[in-house]
Amino acid sequence: MLYQASHPLIELRRLHRFYGKTHAVNDVSFEVDRGQVFGFIGPNGAGKTTSMRILATLDLPTYGDALIDGFSSITDPDLVRKRMGFMPDGFGTYPYMNCEEYLDFFARSYGMVGMERVRGVRRVLGFTGLDKIADKPINGLSKGMRQRLSLGRAMIHDPAVLILDEPANGLDPRARIELRQMIRQLAVDGKAILVSSHILTELAEMVDHVGIIERGNLLAVGCLDEIRRKMQGSTVIEVNLLENADQCRIWLSSRTPTLKIEQQGNRVRFDFSGTEREQAELLRSIILEGFFVLAWTAETHSLEDIFMQITTGAVQ
Ligand code: ATP
């Protein structure tokens, strides 16, 4: 299939989806070009699945539009389905089919016939590494293998766009690395990939761009490095105390009520946006206050910190 180069492969245009009073998706716009992996990150109930389901022609927006290769999921769902594969977060299986039968079944439902279908199933079995267990029944597959099969199903008709809802959920580290390699390869092959997760670090090494969503609102969007640079205005300080970390946390919070602060055992972490001198003065006053400081480290933000800074943790 030929794709038009003049527009992005995935585009959300001022997408809104309301369920009664719940603004599941509230004015979300972004684009994903060919060869790009876009991470759609947000906590439970943020609106990721709703947006993806609209793109995948499984739901309709309240207003706005969702386009695949320039075609609207609302007005041209058939053209969209030909160009897009959706991997939902739940795996709807036919447990007594084996992997090959399962892929063959979906290839048929996309209208693939003859050698095109045989080659398509072989290509996907090879790509996902399921060729060695092609005759294994689905109910005997591990979680990682099921995810591979679910990805295989989404790509059976060789679409230009893949929409993957929480593909890394529940995978062990090895399976996650393998998934990452597959997704990167698909991007190298020129596909546009939208992949969701609750966890920024889970996707950090496979995505080029991210959109961070919470309560239906897109809070940040852009290339990961750009977002990181914007957030680097402050430093994360970690104080390791011999004892009384609780009191130290309370003391710090009372000095600066707006401080984002957390405590784990004897460690207290907080954001600090002052100068180095102010940092040194703060350390001195903690010590003068009578706290025993074992270590004091100032570091730039990790991706996890950035995510925590952008989101508030609110769910709806
Ligand atoms: P999760 O990571 O938990 O899957 P999500 O980011 O995918 O979350 P959505 O599933 O899109 O979030 O849900 C967004 C909001 O819309 C939630 O408050 C959810 O309860 C609500 N919602 C989703 N589908 C429906 C529905 N069919 N009817 C009513 N409310 C819904």
Could you identify the atom of ligand 1 that is nearest to the CA of residue 43?
Answer: 2
Q: Please give the average per-residue pLDDT across 86-114, as a whole number.
A: 90
CA of 33 to the centre of ligand 1 (A): 26
Residue 233: per-residue pLDDT = 62
Residue 202: per-residue pLDDT = 77
Contact of 120 with 107, CB cutoff 8 Å: yes
Q: Ligand 1 in contact with 198 (CB < 6 A)? A: yes
CA pseudo-torsion sign 174, 151, 223, 47: negative
Contact of 297 with 238, CB cutoff 8 Å: yes
Q: Please give the average per-residue pLDDT across 204-229, as a whole number.
A: 86
Q: Ligand 1 in contact with 128 (CB < 6 A)? A: no
Q: Which residue has the tokens 């852009």?
A: 222
Residue 296: per-residue pLDDT = 94
Q: Whose CA is nearest to atom 31 of ligand 1?
A: 19
Amino acid letter at 63?
Y
Residue 258: per-residue pLDDT = 63
Q: Please give the average per-residue pLDDT across 19-47, as a whole number.
A: 94
First-to-last C-alpha distance (Å) of the chain: 41
Q: Which residue has the tokens 């946390």?
A: 249
CA of 4 to the centre of ligand 1 (A): 33
Q: Please give the average per-residue pLDDT across 105-120, as a whole number.
A: 95
Contact of 147 with 179, CB cutoff 8 Å: yes
**Position with higher pLDDT, 153 vs 4:** 153
Q: Whose CA is nearest to atom 25 of ligand 1?
A: 19
Q: Ligand 1 in contact with 256 (CB < 6 A)? A: no
Report d(CA 25, CA 41) in Å as an integer: 13
Q: Please give the average per-residue pLDDT across 132-141, as a whole number.
A: 92
CA of 164 to the centre of ligand 1 (A): 16
Q: Please give the average per-residue pLDDT across 1-9, as a whole number.
A: 69
Average pLDDT, the chain: 89
| 196, two tokens | 């969701």
3-state secondary structure of 188: helix
Is pTM beyond 0.75? Reply is yes
Contact of 118 with 37, CB cutoff 8 Å: no
CA pseudo-torsion sign 106, 168, 311, 302: negative
Report d(CA 235, CA 283) in Å as an integer: 14
160-211 tens-digit pLDDT:
999 999 998 878 888 888 899 999 999 999 999 999 998 777 787 788 899 9
Residue 281: per-residue pLDDT = 92
Measured CA distances, 308 to 66, 187, 202, 301 (Å): 28, 28, 14, 10
244-274 tens-digit pLDDT:
999 999 999 888 766 678 999 999 999 887 7
Q: Ligand 1 in contact with 6 (CB < 6 A)? A: no
Where residue 129 falls (left for φ over 0; alpha for ψ -120 to 50; beta otherwise) is left
Instruction: Enumerate long-range contacts of 307-313, CB under 8 Å, 24 or more apart.
Output: 307/41, 307/200, 307/212, 308/260, 309/231, 309/260, 309/271, 310/212, 310/214, 310/219, 310/220, 310/231, 311/42, 311/43, 311/212, 311/214, 311/219, 312/214, 313/43
Q: Whose CA is nearest to atom 19 of ligand 1?
A: 45
Q: Please give the average per-residue pLDDT across 90-106, as a whole number.
A: 88
Could you identify the atom of ligand 1 that is nearest to the CA of residue 17?
Answer: 16
The rounded percent of the chain whose pLDDT value lies above 70 is 93
Alpha helices, DSSP H, located in the chain: 48-55, 77-83, 99-109, 114-128, 143-154, 173-188, 200-203, 224-231, 245-255, 276-288, 303-310
CA of 44 to the centre of ligand 1 (A): 8
Q: Please give the average per-residue pLDDT across 84-111, as a whole number.
A: 90
Q: Please give the average per-residue pLDDT across 103-126, as a whole number.
A: 95
Report d(CA 55, CA 204) in Å as an integer: 23
Residue 310: per-residue pLDDT = 78
**Position with higher pLDDT, 232 vs 254:** 254
Tabulate helix, strand, coil % of the chain (nearest 5): 40, 30, 35
| 173, two tokens | 């580290």
Residue 69: per-residue pLDDT = 95
Residue 316: pLDDT over 70: no
Closest CA to 286 of 223, 241, 220: 241
Could you identify the atom of ligand 1 that is nearest to the CA of residue 49?
Answer: 7
Q: Ligand 1 in contact with 49 (CB < 6 A)? A: yes
